Amino acid sequence: SQQGEEDPQALSIQEGENATMNCSYKTSINNLQWYRQNSGRGLVHLILIRSNEREKHSGRLRVTLDTSKKSSSLLITASRAADTASYFCATDPMDSNYQLIWGAGTKLIIKP
């Protein structure tokens, strides 16, 4: 079942701008992860944020987690053409059974 829902489904911005995408989920979680997928290839792990954390940074990425609203956001600052990809959130629900629950993804296009 799909727990995470990304918003927006697609996003097109100019190079250098910031990109923000959101993920909502339904049940209590242990952690939430963001992954990137370039053009039908395998996914690459970006960042993991645990349920007791509110914000995490990695390079140009900033992830926030609001467990009261059951939502997370991924901010990419100073976007580059190479950031063009699909971004997925995945949650580890507290009642899960050895699987991550994935959203349908946000397709990000960076225009030069």
Partner 1 sequence: KAGVTQTPRYLIKTRGQQVTLSCSPISGHRSVSWYQQTPGQGLQFLFEYFSETQRNKGNFPGRFSGRQFSNSRSEMNVSTLELGDSALYLCASSLVKGQETQYFGPGTRLLVL
> By CB under 8 A, what part of segment 27-66 binds partner 1?
30-31, 33, 35, 40-45, 48
Determine which residue in the list 20, 61, 96, 109 makes contact with partner 1, applying CB under 8 A: 96
- Are 83 and 23 spatial neighbours (Cβ–Cβ below 8 Å)? no
How near is the Cβ of 16 to partner 1 at its closest, in Å?
A: 28
Exposure string for 13-42, b = 16+ CB within 10 A, e = fewer: beeeeebbbbbbbeeebebbbbbbeeeeee
Q: Which residues bind partner 1 (CB under 8 A)?
A: 1-2, 30-31, 33, 35, 40-45, 48, 88, 90, 92, 96-105
